[in-house]
Amino acid sequence: MDEKENDGIKAPTKAGGALYLVDAAAWIFAAVAFSPLAVWLAKEVAGSRQLSDALVILASMGAVLALDNKIRLHRPRFSGRSMAILALAYAACAAAPFCMWAAMPVGLLGLALFATSLAMSCFDSQRYAAAMGISFYVFLLLSLFLKAFDLPLRILAGEFSVWILHFINSSATLIAIEGYPPQIGIIVGLKRYLVATECNGFAIISSCAVLSVLLAAFARGAGILPRLLTVAASVFMAAVANALRIACIVSVAPLVGDKYYTPMHEAFGYFFFALTLLSVWILAKKMCNRRL
């Protein structure tokens, strides 16, 4: 457990009451300024189970990390650091319209900075608040590029799955199916299996990405290289786990038939999802010198 990094945070006094009100007004104005981005994010998460899974993982693992390190939540206490980060959030919001193609990433950076500033005011560990803010920004970027990643991830998952299936059945073949949007399929024997959007692995990859970023950012005293390797290894493990999941489903499907296909499909999904998240947690502790 790390020391509590309060950064000079003090509860408001009568003498500082006016300043406290000014700080509170700054928070209110920031919430209004970032409300359009917050609404956009809510719609994206509500419309995508993959994003909602990643957000649930981030929130739940953040809670576990806080409990594990005895990090406490308290009433907002403004500090110089939290207000400085809030000022950066305002700057990002103001700069976003002038950033052309980078307008959304910059605007989302402002939203992440706003959330980080809020966390720094409400938790008694600045390091924890910063780690949550960094991982939240990674989640926001993944939300932005969800549709762009769909087809490349499906192709990657299909190719990797076929490579694994070749050890069992050499007839496994990856095919392209005409239509819009483009579809990817796997043929094994005489049966064809569709690699749908839900099978592209975005849910498990994004969940492992945000979890590994959270753990790597929170690790105390770890070098930059171990942190980066933790994230890279976690994303790779997630891609491998998704390919193994598809290969298992395709291999077992003829044995269970159509009646039990859906339960079997879901069972493999939850199994590999949980196994990979646990592996990322263990990997992060080992690669970051257990300083979590």
Q: What is the pLDDT of residue 15?
A: 44
Contact (CB, 8 A) for 71 and 128? yes
- Give the pLDDT confidence of 31-40 residue by residue, as tens digits: 888 888 889 8
For the chain, give every domain's residue range.
Answer: 17-144, 147-287
CA-CA distance, 157 to 239, in Å (whole number)?
A: 7
Q: What is the pTM of this model?
A: 0.84
Alpha helices in the chain, H assignment, sequence order:
17-33, 35-46, 49-68, 80-95, 103-122, 126-144, 146-165, 202-218, 224-256, 261-287
Distance CA 177, CA 96 (A): 39
- In this model, does residue 289 exceed pLDDT 50? yes
Can you tell me which residue has the tokens 């950033």? 99
Once rounded to an integer, what is the mean pLDDT over residues 180-201?
A: 83
Asked if pLDDT for residue 8 goes beyond 70, the answer is no
Handedness of CA 273, 271, 246, 179 (dihedral sign): negative
Q: Which residues pair with 194 in a beta bridge?
A: 185
d(CA 134, CA 87): 17
pLDDT tens track for 218-251: 988 778 898 999 999 999 999 999 999 999 999 8
14 band by pLDDT with thresholds 50, 70 and 90: very low
